Structure 1
Amino acid sequence: MIFVLNKNKQPLSPCHSAVARKLLKTGKAVIHKKYPFTIRLKELKYSENKAEFRLKIDYGSRHTGLAILNGSKVIGLAQIHHKTSIKSNMDSRRAMRRTRRNRTTRYRKPRFNNRKRKEGWLPPSLQSRVDNIQNWVAKLQKLCPLTHISYENAKFDTQLMQNPEVSGVEYQQGELQGYEVREYLLEKWGRKCAYCGAENVPLEIEHIIPRARKGTDRVSNLTLACRTCNEAKGTMTAEKFGYPEIQKQARIPLRDATLVTATRWKVYNTLTEKGLEVECGTGARTKMNRIKLNLPKDHHFDAICVGASTPNKIIFKTNSVLHIKAKGRGSHCRTNLDKYGFPRGYLTRQKSFFGFQTGDIVKAIIPKGKYKGIFFGAVACRKTGYFDIKNKEGVRIGQGINHKYCNILSRADGYEYATEHLEVDGIPPTTEVIGILP
């Protein structure tokens, strides 16, 4: 399915790729955007959209799944890959800054006591996840006439999981009984047996210290095991069974679950500001819907199953998933440092050269010379006008290419794009990178 805009850049109902191809060939439409692919009509005679489209969001700390549904029809799938290096980069910057104060240079007083944080402030590593979702919801609103949003407001309450009895009987019983604790354990133990590492087999909740040895039902005392290991372990502890490291790993907090819990209401507030009706769902309901629909475990498939609005039967109108990887728009630091913190090179403050910017996706047609041929990739700009081109693996495939031979395909927007084709009619899935940033 291809996104369609009218002459005034207002979103219309998406169309089939064959229809979009015909409109482009007959000159009735032009390409408006490459990623995601969008066409714009040249005439105003086409009717306005009357269908309802629902955007479903499966929020996760590392990946967020997106799905666009029109009733029971799935017309678009995507997955956002969040940046996970923000904290380590800030720690490195802080270490460099503090070491400079200890050298025989002019003294710089620390300023952290003079700074005030605004209400609702989040650490940059968490705010980045919120911004990614906010930006892509805004982008999709401009490309598709969305009418509703379904959002998985997931919560892993680690305190209640350690002591389930404090919340009473209602927490442990009902239609979704058993889903919350099991889903927590599946995420924590990597969806495999903690003892033999078996995957894609039925897993049972098992006590690290058995009840017969006065073990409790706390989640820190629970793990996952296949039937064979569970029966072989019997009433032995994990340490006597030959796995002393299991007890240590059980005590490790689930960091990803904490990140989602800390930012889930911030994401919800940003979604309500879009002016659309927002439906909230839980992770337990998402899993229950996914099992009923017999879908594999993945973030874009989880997004289809978010909320009570999930239909009993779905029809896929798309056979691909757009992977969106957050890369950023460059580094704030304009000086390259060596491992000791001393400068080894300086970056120019100019960002655009001859109409190109580092990270733009270009097509270079080189008529002669060492690199004669046609190249597609991300461009690295230089002030001289002779650029480098990198392929999808980040390997330099062209060096010193004149800017006159380059044509823009897509402007750098801080994201890297790749398309994963789903298995349809026996065709095995493949992955095709359609955009990359250095």
Structure 2
Amino acid sequence: MSVFVLDTNKKPQNPVHPAKARLLLTEGKASVFRQFPFTIILKETVLDVASNPLRIKIDPGSRETGIAVINDDTGEIVFAMELRHRGRQIKNNLESRRAIRRSRRNRKTRYRKPRFDNRTRAKGWLPPSLKSRVHNIETWVNRLCRFCNIQAISMELVRFDMQKIQNPEISGVEYQQGELMGYEVREYLLEKWDRTCAYCGKTDIPLEIEHIVPKSKGGSNRVSNLTLACTACNRKKGNKPLELFLSRKPRMLKRIQKQSKVPLKDAGAVNTTRWDLFRTLKETGLPVETGSGGLTKFNRTTRGLYKTHWLDAAYVGKSTPEKMFQIDKTVLIVKADGHGSRQMCRVNKFGFPRTTAKSTEKKVKGFQTGDIVKAVVTSGKKVGTYIGRVAVRKSGSFNIKTVDKTVQGISWKYCRLLHASDGYSYNTTC
């Protein structure tokens, strides 16, 4: 990743190579403004040089979203990250809270007048588990706009173009007869069957589209009649009916028949939030380009690249440069953790309180739980340097969770703040 640069007025400049950033920091011409994404701020005013226009590309997903910042003129991937959502955690928390609430009301109120008829939902309402995905992406788009000169946005609006799958003629001769149509179907099946052979369960091997009911036996090309199989299983099955081929494996037969009719839950989440995300991005005032998942895969595979969320994001839309490169292979992994809980006390499995009410004051000695700190302990049994997330205590004795362990009983006096808690945890990968 390149390093973002701000001038003395906190206006974005052209991102620089990590080596150039280290040189500026060593010479005292800049200081660290933010750890994640790593950003420096200049200490001296520089000549007013126009920064290069950049484009944010987004590949929305149900569990993870890929985000990349691209220079359309040079084809450079300036910044890449993968954002991991917490939609399922929110759903589980809401269900748990609902169960506790109902149990409490049943214990304390013999009859409660129904009030659900009085409640209305605003137009465009989304469940919190889905809305959180939109909010996470919106947060990071706004952040990146503050750190670099973003002039356009590209997003994958639909993962699977269902109309093109059912009716290839909908977009004209060039689209229906080209390779893109096949990519829409293949990408849908890869997601539906979890990128594994339906018959032997092998992964990370070339997979072929296979008809559950053979075409010679009257089977159609509808996606409900398609699955994925490795070359060996596909040849072994041939034109046999599925019931005959799996006559000795009734469990597998039942699973395949059931899975062929089950809709994609994750794809449903993406399709539900796509237009809300599109409207949110339009409110930034930047031009928004859209593309389908089939087009993204076509752009990536024709260039011979492997599949990752951030690479999918880099190749979203028709604006993708013919040649792209990345000076540094580091990718930022961001996980949404939330900003804590409003629950006043913890409960046991029966819904009864098991702790006292928590304090409304989050900070202790200037630190709060979730901050990334660096502790240099110079005396005692825990001498050493520890970098990680801190869990604060009123006593001033903190716990620090590092990459491989949790160190308890570190005094706040040894701690130095590196990155304030912002609802996300960070990691990097190469």
TM over 0.5: yes
Instruction: Tell me what 1:85 maps to.
Output: 89
How much has 1:216 moved relative to structure 2?
2.8
Q: Aligned-pair distance for 1:238?
A: 2.3
Taking a change above 3 Å as real, the CA distance of residues 420 and 109 of structure 1, as seen in their structure-2 partners, is: farther
1:409 aligns with 2:418: yes
Aligned mate of 2:103, from 73, 92, 99: 99
How far the C-alpha of 1:45 sits from its partner, in A, is: 2.2
Q: Quote the Cα distance in structure 1 between the aligned partners of 2:396 and 2:53.
A: 48
Q: Secondary structure at the match of 1:179?
A: helix
Q: CA deviation at 1:167?
A: 5.9
Equivalent position of 2:399 in the other structure? 388
Alpha-carbon separation, structure 1, partners of 2:167 and 2:301: 25
Question: What is the CA-CA distance between 1:106 and the residue it aligns to?
Answer: 7.3
1:66-215 correspondence to structure 2 within 5 Å: 66-70=67-71, 71=73, 72-83=75-86, 84-104=88-108, 109=113, 111-156=115-160, 161=165, 164=167, 173-175=176-178, 176-215=180-219
CA distance in 1 between counterparts of 2:162 and 2:272 reads 12
**1:253-292 paired onto structure 2 within 5 Å:** 253-292=263-302
Instruction: Note closer, same or farther for the CA distance 1:172–1:25 as it changes in structure 2 (3 Å cut).
Output: closer
1:341 alignment partner AA: G
Q: 1:156·1:258 contact (CA, 8 Å) conserved in 2? A: no
Deviation at 1:214, TM superposition (A): 2.7
Q: In structure 2, do the counterparts of structure 1 residues 363 and 107 end up closer, same or farther at CA, with 3 Å as the change threshold? A: farther
- Asked if 2 retains the 8 angstrom alpha-carbon contact of 1:371 and 1:398, the reply is no
* Contact map agreement 1:208 1:223 (CA 8 A) in 2: yes
- Residue 199 of structure 1 and its aligned partner are, at CA, apart by 2.9
- The alignment's TM-score, normalised by the length of structure 1, stands at 0.90
More strand by share: 1
1:44-59 to structure 2, matched below 5 A, reads 44-59=45-60
Distance 1:388 1:216 in 2: 61
Conserved in 2, the CA contact under 8 Å of 1:149 and 1:278?
yes
SS in 2 for 1:102: helix
- 1:433 paired residue number: none
Q: Is the 8 A contact 1:150 1:280 kept in 2?
A: yes
CA–CA distance in structure 2, aligned partners of residues 369 and 101 of structure 1: 51
1:365 CA drift (Å): 1.9
- In the TM superposition, what is the alpha-carbon distance from 1:27 to its structure 2 partner? 1.4
* Cα 1:32–1:98 shift into 2, 3 Å: same
Q: 1:337 aligns with which of 337, 347, 365?
A: 347
- C-alpha contact 1:380 1:388 (8 A) present in aligned 2: yes
- Looking at structure 1, the residues matched to 343 and 291 of structure 2 have their Cα atoms a distance apart, in angstroms, of 41
Determine helix, strand or coil for the equivalent of 1:356: coil
Partner Cα distance (1:261, 1:216) in 2: 26
Deviation of 1:108 after TM superposition, in Å, equals: 5.2
Which structure is higher in RCO with an 8 Å CA cutoff and minimum separation 6?
2
Cross-structure match for 1:310: 320
> Matches of 1:24 and 1:90 in 2, distance apart?
46
1:107/1:8 Cα in 2 relative to 1: closer, same or farther (>3 Å)? farther
Cα deviation digits, residues 240-271 of structure 1 (max 9, x gap): 22231211111121001111111111111111
Residues 322, 419 of structure 1: 8 Å contact kept: yes
Aligned CA distance change for structure 1 residues 224 and 113 (closer, same or farther; 3 Å): same
Q: CA deviation at 1:316?
A: 1.2
Residue 218 of structure 1 is matched in structure 2 by 222
1:357–1:379 CA contact under 8 A, matched in 2: yes
Partner of 1:321: 331
Aligned to 1:299: 309
Does the CA-based 8 Å contact 1:379-1:389 persist in structure 2? yes
Structure 2 CA distance for partners of 1:44 and 1:293, relative to 1, 3 Å: same
For structure 2, the residue ranges without an aligned partner over 5 or more in a row are: 247-251
Answer yes or no: is the 8 Å Cα contact 1:164–1:172 preserved in 2: no
Cα gap change, 1:50 to 1:356, in 2 (>3 Å): closer
Q: CA deviation at 1:40?
A: 0.3
Instruction: Give 1:107 shift.
Output: 5.7
Per-residue deviation, residues 384-406 of structure 1 (Å, max 9, x unmatched): 2221111235x42122x221121
Aligned residues of 2:168 and 2:176 also touching (Cα < 8 A): no
Q: So what's the TM-score if we normalise by structure 2?
A: 0.92
Which structure: greater helix fraction?
Answer: 2
CA offset at residue 50 of structure 1?
Answer: 3.5
Q: Which moved more, 1:17-26 or 1:31-40?
A: 17-26
Report how many aligned residue pairs link the two structures.
Answer: 418
Partner of 1:419: 428
Alpha carbons 2:12, 2:51 under 8 Å: kept = no
Aligned residues of 2:332 and 2:428 also touching (Cα < 8 A): yes
C-alpha spacing 1:349/1:239, structure 2 compared with 1 (3 Å): farther
Tell whether the 8 Å contact from 2:210 to 2:234 is kept in structure 1 after alignment. yes
What is the Cα deviation at residue 217 of structure 1? 2.4
SS of corresponding position for 1:200: coil
